[in-house]
Chains A and B, each alone.
Chain A
Amino acid sequence: MAGFAPSLAKPDTQQSSTSSLIYDPKVRGIFYQVLTVALVALFVWEITQNTIHNLEKANIASGFGFLQGRAGFDIAQTLLPYSSDSTYGRALLIGLLNTLQVAFFGIITASILGFVVGIARLSKNWLIARLAQVYVEIFRNIPPLLVILFWYKGVIAVLPQARDSIALPLASYLNNRGLFFPKAIWGNGAWMVGVALVVAIVASIVIFRWARARQARTGQQFRSGWTAIVLIIGLPAATFLALGSPVTFDYPIAGRFNLTGGSTVGPEFISLFLALSFYTASFIAEIVRGGIMAVAKGQTEAASALGLRPGVTTRLVIIPQAMRIIIPPLTSQFLNLTKNSSLAVAVGFADVVAVGGTMLNQTGQAVEIVALWLVIYLSLSVTTALFMNWFNAKMALVER
């Protein structure tokens, strides 16, 4: 027994320090990280060299100078003036605006539809709940690209020709070239209406604050909601009438081959917009349903015990708590919709990816254009995420 003691008491210091270095998690960690960095650096250097070589071989100058060049292609739907003589940079800007336009309208429609369907799924009415479920199950399980093509090639392309347009209410027409509707031309002083709208919104906010402070002080309630609605609708309308209705309409008129005048929304935009909003709405509906179901039943019961009516319970107790659960996944759905708007390239709607793709084919500047896409989409994501984080923080539970 005693023979073991010396070797235990006096370990070989030399061997111990090397083996402990090998088994030290910190040393190992540093080794692995250095190895990873070396491998990544080697990989990046290798592909950079290959890319430079390949670009030289194909005679493509790198750099963003090409953005100043003449684009040479037309874009059907533009928010800013654009012609084929404009620069590539401007074409890309038009594309970006088109992306934002689809995303903006899509998000609004998808949210409204999604909330309605999500609440309908929780309805005690069996038929309504089943209808909502069928909607969700159908649209969640079909690729959005298929829905876009369905609208574009399946429905809108086989609508009647321009000369047999389908007449819709409000002097609008629908045919295989899109939706035609009257264009409002604002006359003198029309800007006053916009000013009135802003004034009404500011006044409503002030009234809301005042009403809440008064209720906290005296317990008296004030119908601030109705007042705000009357203000926001009434004030601009009154201004409009007082100015003598300074607006005329440019109606679309059926010509021999096409409709002239008015505003047009192309079939590309319609199919993209419809498909994206219907698709995303089915996901939003599930998020809304999950959020509402996650609010504990005790909350409803406590609200009833306090004597709140069901409508008030929903508005003041359930929804604010459900929103906390709903907002984070809702953000990612909004981002998904924005990213899915790049499917526009399948129907030829000039969004930022479609314009970039055309530029790529014309100039071969693959690296620069992909980099631009990355920058644009990442900044869109970051902006949305920042805004929604702010909103989320505002709605979050304040724990004391």
Chain B
Amino acid sequence: MAVTDFSYVRRQMEPAKPAPSSQVGVIHWLRTNLFASAGDTILTLAALALLAYILPGLIQWLFINASWTGADRKACATVSQGGILPDGQSGACWAFVSAKFQQFIFGRYPSSLYWRPMLVMAMFVVLLIPMLMPKAPFKGWNALALFIVLPVVAFFLLGGGFGLQPVETQLWGGLMVTLILSFFGITVSLPFGILLALGRRSNMPVIKMLCVLFIEIIRGIPLITVLFMASVMLPLFLPDGWTFDKLLRALIGVSLFSSAYMAEVIRGGLQAMPKGQFEGADSLGLSYWQKMRLVILPQAIKLVIPGIVNTFIGLFKDTSLVYIIGMFDLLGIVTLNQSDANWSTPVTPVTGYVFAGFVFWIFCFAMSRYSLFMERHLDTGHKR
């Protein structure tokens, strides 16, 4: 029986063929992401047209036509405005920013004493960085130094006393005041917010009612009215002979305001806690404060980290409102310097605001990125 074996067994692997050119590379990416359909193509082209319309002018204004150096307004004004630039040219006046840079950072703080705010800033950075790194050791001591010791030291270092030349808070300003206000607001609003949130969830009707009243009234009115209250009403509330510093009034207003918002964020976290966690802690015989400190709050706060950071960002932005009650934070000092006759040109205000906006943006953006990082870091996979 003749066996003709027609079967064929391949002994080598067929080498993989490259994917079709329509499925890989730039062309594929463009096809799926920019030109997937007729509608998509129209949208892409419209967006490109918009970019082509805006970007060149923006770059030209910000960089190419900008004046980078100069001693006064001549550097930024056109010939018809009494300057040196050709007529019709318009560009950012970075010379203004660099000439006023020290004021933008320190306000009207005496320039011979700049080492004091700089020292505070250095201490702040040195203490803040290990605080932000989850793996750094000695968190408790670090927090104590950052939130309790540093504000006290900074107060005497900046304001004077103990042999240091006193500097009135009237002279403080610029980014320094923005940072002081927001750091103080953050430091105060978190513990107060936690207390208010616990009070709102309390079983005691009187405490609950007081907390609800406080939170809802503050949340119902704009920050400006709170600041007006702090600056106009606080002096009325005090007995004869007592006065409050303007900066302190603003600090109180900002802290009260952000505490109410923080309380609502924390309450969200408390409400998201399953009932079993409370009951479990009770069954272990923990007291109320032990239960909250050891079981509930660590979990609840972790749940609402994005909300807490959003409140911090909001607080940081809101500090700019103290300009309205006559203090010169970063925004205030930029606005104040625009009326300097030495630098008044049509482009000065815009340049100042672009600079201030950029500084605010950097801080807020950094905070939001850090919150994303912490969220991922703390995510233990219990999310529903």
Q: Which of B32, B204, B217, B320 contacts A143 (CB 8 A)?
A: B320
Kindly name the residue among A47, A143, A154, A346 whose own CB sees the greatest number of chain B CB atoms within 10 A. A143
CA of A150 to CA of B335 in the docked complex: distance in angstroms?
10
Q: Of all chain B residues, which has the CB nearest A335? A: B220
Quick check: B320 and A40 within 8 Å, CB to CB? Answer: no
State whether the Cβ of B197 lies closer than 8 Å to any Cβ in chain A: no
Q: Give 18 A-B pairs besides A50-B236, A140-B364, A366-B233 with Cβ atoms closer than 8 angstroms.
A: A32-B204, A36-B210, A53-B240, A127-B44, A141-B360, A142-B317, A143-B331, A145-B331, A149-B349, A149-B353, A153-B349, A154-B353, A158-B346, A346-B323, A374-B225, A377-B220, A378-B220, A381-B219
Quick check: A32 and B236 within 8 Å, CB to CB? Answer: no
State whether the Cβ of A200 lies closer than 8 Å to any Cβ in chain B: no
Quick check: B335 and A128 within 8 Å, CB to CB? Answer: no
Quick check: B323 and A145 within 8 Å, CB to CB? Answer: yes
Quick check: A346 and B206 within 8 Å, CB to CB? Answer: no
Q: Which of A343-382 contact B (CB under 8 A)?
A: 343, 345-346, 353, 357, 360, 366-367, 370, 373-374, 377-378, 381-382
State whether the Cβ of A33 lies closer than 8 Å to any Cβ in chain B: yes
7 cross-chain CB contacts under 8 A: A33-B204, A143-B318, A146-B320, A150-B350, A150-B357, A155-B350, A353-B228
State whether the Cβ of B97 lies closer than 8 Å to any Cβ in chain A: no
Quick check: B222 and A339 within 8 Å, CB to CB? Answer: yes
Quick check: A32 and B207 within 8 Å, CB to CB? Answer: yes
Q: Which of B32-72 contact A (CB under 8 A)?
A: 32-34, 36, 40, 43-44, 47-48, 50-51
Quick check: B232 and A366 within 8 Å, CB to CB? Answer: yes
In angstroms, how far is the closest chain A Cβ from the Cβ of B232? 5
Quick check: A51 and B236 within 8 Å, CB to CB? Answer: yes
Contacts of A123 in B (CB 8 A): 43
Kindly name the residue among A40, A141, A144, A346 whose own CB sees the greatest number of chain B CB atoms within 10 A. A141
State whether the Cβ of B235 lies closer than 8 Å to any Cβ in chain A: yes
Quick check: A143 and B360 within 8 Å, CB to CB? Answer: yes
Contacts of A149 in B (CB 8 A): 331, 335, 349, 353
Quick check: A142 and B204 within 8 Å, CB to CB? Answer: no
CA of A381 to CA of B63 in the docked complex: distance in angstroms?
45
Q: Which of B224-248 contact A (CB under 8 A)?
A: 224-225, 228-229, 232-233, 235-240
CA of A52 to CA of B356 in the docked complex: distance in angstroms?
43
State whether the Cβ of A5 lies closer than 8 Å to any Cβ in chain B: no
Q: Of all chain A residues, which has the CB nearest B353? A: A150
Contacts of B207 in A (CB 8 A): 32-33, 36
CA of A36 to CA of B222 in the docked complex: distance in angstroms?
28
Q: Which of B281-326 contact A (CB under 8 A)?
A: 313, 317-318, 320-321, 323-324
Q: Of all chain B residues, which has the CB nearest A342? A: B222
State whether the Cβ of A340 lies closer than 8 Å to any Cβ in chain B: yes
Contacts of B352 in A (CB 8 A): 154
Q: Of all chain A residues, which has the CB nearest B199? A: A36
CA of A157 to CA of B338 in the docked complex: distance in angstroms?
12
Q: Which of A32, A128, A137, A143 contacts B317 (CB 8 A)?
A: A143
CA of A316 to CA of B284 in the docked complex: distance in angstroms?
50
Contacts of A382 in B (CB 8 A): 220
Q: Of all chain B residues, which has the CB nearest A131? A: B47
State whether the Cβ of B156 lies closer than 8 Å to any Cβ in chain A: no
Give 1 or 0 for each of B193-211: 1 = CB within 8 Å of chain A CB. Answer: 0000000000111110010
Q: Which of A128, A154, A366, A374 contacts B350 (CB 8 A)?
A: A154
State whether the Cβ of A315 lies closer than 8 Å to any Cβ in chain B: no
Quick check: A340 and B222 within 8 Å, CB to CB? Answer: yes
- Whether A125 touches B34, Cβ cut-off 8 Å, given contacts A32-B207, A144-B317, A366-B232, is yes
- Whether A54 touches B36, Cβ cut-off 8 Å, given contacts A40-B210, A155-B350, A342-B224, is no
Give 1 or 0 for each of B173-208: 1 = CB within 8 Å of chain A CB. Answer: 000000000000000000000000000000111110
In angstroms, how far is the closest chain B Cβ from the Cβ of A368? 11
Contacts of B232 in A (CB 8 A): 360, 366, 370
State whether the Cβ of A124 lies closer than 8 Å to any Cβ in chain B: yes
In angstroms, how far is the closest chain B Cβ from the Cβ of A393? 20
**In the complex, the 7 A-B pairs of residues with the closest C-beta atoms, listed nearest first:** A141-B364, A126-B33, A154-B350, A339-B222, A143-B317, A342-B222, A33-B206
Quick check: A343 and B224 within 8 Å, CB to CB? Answer: yes
Chain B interface bracket (under 10, 10 to 19, 20 to 34, 35 or more): 35 or more
State whether the Cβ of A298 lies closer than 8 Å to any Cβ in chain B: no
- Whether A146 touches B43, Cβ cut-off 8 Å, given contacts A33-B207, A155-B350, is no
State whether the Cβ of B368 lies closer than 8 Å to any Cβ in chain A: yes
Interface residue ranges, B against A (CB under 8 Å)? 32-34, 36, 40, 43-44, 47-48, 50-51, 203-207, 210, 217, 219-225, 228-229, 232-233, 235-240, 313, 317-318, 320-321, 323-324, 331, 335, 338, 346-347, 349-350, 352-354, 356-357, 360-361, 364-365, 368
State whether the Cβ of A100 lies closer than 8 Å to any Cβ in chain B: no
State whether the Cβ of A229 lies closer than 8 Å to any Cβ in chain B: no
- Whether A126 touches B320, Cβ cut-off 8 Å, given contacts A50-B238, A55-B236, is no
In angstroms, how far is the closest chain A Cβ from the Cβ of B324? 5
CA of A47 to CA of B238 in the docked complex: distance in angstroms?
7
Q: Which of A50, A57, A145 contacts B321 (CB 8 A)?
A: A145
Kindly name the residue among A125, A360, A377 whose own CB sees the greatest number of chain B CB atoms within 10 A. A125
Contacts of A170 in B (CB 8 A): none
- Whether A146 touches B224, Cβ cut-off 8 Å, given contacts A29-B203, A40-B210, A125-B36, is no
Contacts of B338 in A (CB 8 A): 153
In angstroms, how far is the closest chain B Cβ from the Cβ of A306? 23
Contacts of B350 in A (CB 8 A): 150, 154-155, 158
CA of A8 to CA of B143 in the docked complex: distance in angstroms?
48
Contacts of A377 in B (CB 8 A): 220-222, 225
State whether the Cβ of A37 lies closer than 8 Å to any Cβ in chain B: yes
Quick check: B222 and A128 within 8 Å, CB to CB? Answer: no
Contacts of A343 in B (CB 8 A): 222, 224, 321, 324
Contacts of A144 in B (CB 8 A): 317
In angstroms, how far is the closest chain B Cβ from the Cβ of A125? 5
Quick check: B313 and A378 within 8 Å, CB to CB? Answer: no
CA of A357 to CA of B326 in the docked complex: distance in angstroms?
13
Kindly name the residue among A128, A145, A366 whose own CB sees the greatest number of chain B CB atoms within 10 A. A145
In angstroms, how far is the closest chain A Cβ from the Cβ of B297? 20
Quick check: B217 and A367 within 8 Å, CB to CB? Answer: no
CA of A342 to CA of B227 in the docked complex: distance in angstroms?
12
In angstroms, how far is the closest chain A Cβ from the Cβ of B47? 5
Q: Which of B50, B313, B331, B347 contacts A141 (CB 8 A)?
A: B313
- Whether A146 touches B357, Cβ cut-off 8 Å, given contacts A36-B206, A125-B40, A367-B236, is yes
CA of A210 to CA of B228 in the docked complex: distance in angstroms?
55
Contacts of A353 in B (CB 8 A): 222, 224-225, 228
In angstroms, how far is the closest chain A Cβ from the Cβ of B134? 24
Contacts of B354 in A (CB 8 A): 150
Give 1 or 0 for each of A154-175: 1 = CB within 8 Å of chain B CB. Answer: 1101100000000000000000
